[in-house]
Amino acid sequence: MENTPLPAFSPPTTFSHGDRIWRATGDKLAVRIVLVDNTETANRIASAHGAQAFARQLLGESISASLLLASGLKGPGTIQLRFSLSGDISRVAADATPMGLVRAMIPQEDLSRTGNFEPMLLPQMLTVSKLDRDGQRIAEGIVEMESADISQSVTHYLRQSEQGKAWLRATSVCDTPTGERLHFSGGFLIEGFPGLLEAGWKAIETTAQGLDVAAYALPGGGLDLHALFNQFAAHFPAQIHQEFKVESYCPCTEDGVLRAMAGLGRDELLSILMEGQDTEVFCEFCRRRYAILPEQIGALLDGLEPDEELP
């Protein structure tokens, strides 16, 4: 199930409110601008996992970063972000498509351990995988995380692995210290196209560095993308040419769960079968519950040689 791609959707009609992603290009400078507000989607995903406070913000920022990166795919496919950490949280994962479909997770045992406290995090590695529409991996980049900050780590990846001029900012902030809800979650990505002069990029980068995403939070929640875009356009004129709705989506299925269980091998499957009870399995991403029956476990074992491992 790990490499199951999110499906490709046709662009929806324009949405002026709610979670959305905007793509724009500069009129005179060779630059691409992507803005995203994923507040409600991040809250739904985080609530499904029971994530609070810092963990909720971490999920929100990972969702923002994955959506921003996925906007750069040339065709249907999926971007997978995998943040490896040590400390109270071991990993964060987020998958997104260019059309705004996204899913994300933090392991349940990590969330149970941290509750609404700010965890101790030690950064390790960031892996970015690009999948085609069939879920086949077409590219992968791995970099050391410079810090536990999502924005800094993904910007470092873009500059190291993609070898381009880029600046990414993903920000999520909770309404209250206990962190039951995100007040806003979103951000922006600025990328220079080949041919952009260094002086032009420096001006763009200075503008990006000076922008505080929190300044564009709406009183009722979410981000004012109009105001954020106008701030960029005031420095270098640009045109918005695409808009997509952001939605949570997980392609998990019972067949996918069974394929994942097959990887446990003969001994583990026999042990489960001997218990004679239904096996409860949750999708790590959407927390959907699957009840796997003993006869389904038996079907996985049927036809195997005694010492043969399941693939």
How confident is the model at residue 306, as a pLDDT?
57
The segments of the chain whose pLDDT lies below 70 read 1-17, 303-311
How confident is the model at residue 5, as a pLDDT?
61
CA gap 58, 246 in Å, rounded: 18
How confident is the model at residue 305, as a pLDDT?
52
How confident is the model at residue 3, as a pLDDT?
63
How confident is the model at residue 301, as a pLDDT?
81
Q: How many CB atoms lie within 10 A of CB 276?
A: 8
In degrees, rounded to 5, the angle at the alpha carbon of residue 228 between the alpha carbons of residues 223 and 232 is 160
Q: What pLDDT digit, counting tens, does each position of 107-146 carry?
A: 999 999 888 888 889 999 999 999 999 889 999 999 999 8
Residue type, 167: W
Who's near 2: CB < 8 A, 6+ residues apart?
Answer: none
How confident is the model at residue 57, as a pLDDT?
96
Q: How many CB atoms lie within 10 A of CB 128?
A: 21
Q: What pLDDT digit, counting tens, does each position of 230-250 carry?
A: 998 888 899 999 999 999 999
Query: Please, which residues bridge with residue 50 across strands?
Result: none
Q: Which domains are assigned to the chain? A: 20-248 (3.55.30.10), 254-301 (3.90.1280.10)
Residue type, 36: V
CA distances, 107 to each of 22, 133, 154, 195, 256 (Å)? 30, 26, 21, 43, 19
Who's near 124: CB < 8 A, 6+ residues apart?
Answer: 84, 85, 86, 144, 145
